Amino acid sequence: MHVAMYYSNQDVRLEEMPVPQIGPGEVLMRVEASGICGTDLLEWYRRHKAPLVLGHEVAGVIVAVGKGAKHYKVGDRICAAHHVPCNTCHYCLSGHHTVCDTLRQTNFDPGGFAEYVRLPRINVDQGIFPLPDEVSFEEATFVEPLACVLRGQRLARLQPGQIVLVIGSGVAGLFHIQLARTSGAGYIIATDIVDYRLGAARKFGADIAIQAREYTPAYLRGVADGRLADLVVICSGATSAIAQALESVERGGTVLFFAPTELGVSIPISVNDLFWRNEITLTSSYGGSPADYAAALELIQAGKIRVREMITHRLGLAETGLGFQLVAQAQDSLKVIIEPQR
């Protein structure tokens, strides 16, 4: 089969490798659509593992079923989770499924930028989600990133009527905007450095979208009746975004660190200004649990979160390198979908 083999962000090659052989309890999925995630481009996180096949936002059709995989059959349309929890450890039982050791060790074979993917037994047990007829394969690739956003906003305890500031209006930022609007946010402000994405932020529900270079906390007070944001969501890895977030959170508010930074970034924090008198909460989120995946799929099926309009490029497997460049340049692209069967 053909795969897109990652060596670096500038070096993604079309190569061949054997179709994975499945064992008991496993299934083989023909990949119909696979989204490129911004985290696929984190070279400090990926490059030392290269060469490897990336891609974790996947949807496709089951073409082979191993003995014991009783709930699935050839021809089933599915999306799948690449990381799945054990559901029995301390972390899972306390609601922190995405820091489970098992979740951090599980994955597809190989990644989703391939014609076929083997889903191990635990992924079959915990991480397959049948697709309703009205949800297309390309729409289903959004289940994983939306699940991550659902988890983030739940941990941040977004409440109806709150003022929300979303810093960074890429795909994750646009999901945060849509979900905050669906959850009853009172006022949503979005920032970015790319005008195309600011237009998308307005389209998907932001009351105001402003250039990050022009944004100030004083501007926020001016449009929000003198208040700062009850919830600030950082969807950019830039250290300037973190500084803006910490200056923009209202007393009693929350800052959600959603995007990773470059390796080794640390930030100075004034304990007195942020915590002692102002009761600011700093929190983070990573990934999504199986329940988050199921909830994300329901939102997409119901049309409550618009995903198809976020797709700007559809490419074949041989064009995966081009897709990486489109995502890295972050100009007139939002979601880039790879279609391995194209």
Residues 138 and 179 in one domain: no
Map tokens 């939002």 to a residue.
334
pLDDT, averaged across the chain: 96
In a domain, 299, yes or no: no
In a domain, 297, yes or no: no
Which segments of 20-102 are extended strands (E)?
27-35, 57-65, 77-80
Looking at residue 316, which CATH number applies to its domain? 3.90.180.10
Work out the average pLDDT over 70-87. 96
22-52: per-residue pLDDT in tens? Answer: 999 999 999 999 999 999 999 888 988 999 9
Q: Which helix (H) or strand (E) holds 284?
A: strand 281-284
Q: What is the pLDDT of residue 290?
A: 96
Looking at residue 165, which CATH number applies to its domain? 3.40.50.720
Residues 138 and 159 in one domain: no
* Beta carbons of 245 and 190 less than 8 angstroms apart: no
Residues 199 and 312 in one domain: no
Work out the average pLDDT over 142-165. 97
297/163 Cα distance (integer angstroms)? 27
Residues 15 and 130 in one domain: yes
In a domain, 295, yes or no: no
Residues 184 and 117 in one domain: no
Residues 60 and 167 in one domain: no
- 118 SS3 class: strand
Q: Which helix (H) or strand (E) holds 41?
A: none
* Beta carbons of 70 and 128 less than 8 angstroms apart: no
Q: Which of 77, 78, 68 is nearest to 25 (CA)?
A: 68
Q: What is the pLDDT of residue 264?
A: 87
Residues 107 and 41 in one domain: yes
- Domain of 239? 149-284
In a domain, 62, yes or no: yes
Residues 117 and 154 in one domain: no
In a domain, 296, yes or no: no
169-214: per-residue pLDDT in tens? Answer: 999 999 999 999 999 999 999 999 999 999 999 999 999 999 999 9
Report the number of distinct structural domains present in the chain: 2
Q: What is the pLDDT of residue 64?
A: 98
Residues 164 and 197 in one domain: yes
Residues 8 and 116 in one domain: yes
In a domain, 334, yes or no: yes
Residues 16 and 137 in one domain: yes
> What would the two tokens of residue 195 be?
């005008």
Residues 258 and 322 in one domain: no
Q: What is the pLDDT of residue 279?
A: 92
CA dihedral 38, 303, 178, 60 (to 10 degrees): -10
240-290: per-residue pLDDT in tens? Answer: 999 999 999 999 999 999 999 988 888 888 888 788 889 999 999 999 999
Q: What is the pLDDT of residue 233?
A: 98
Which of 77-86, 141-150, 255-264 comes out lowest in average pLDDT?
255-264
In a domain, 273, yes or no: yes
In a domain, 301, yes or no: no
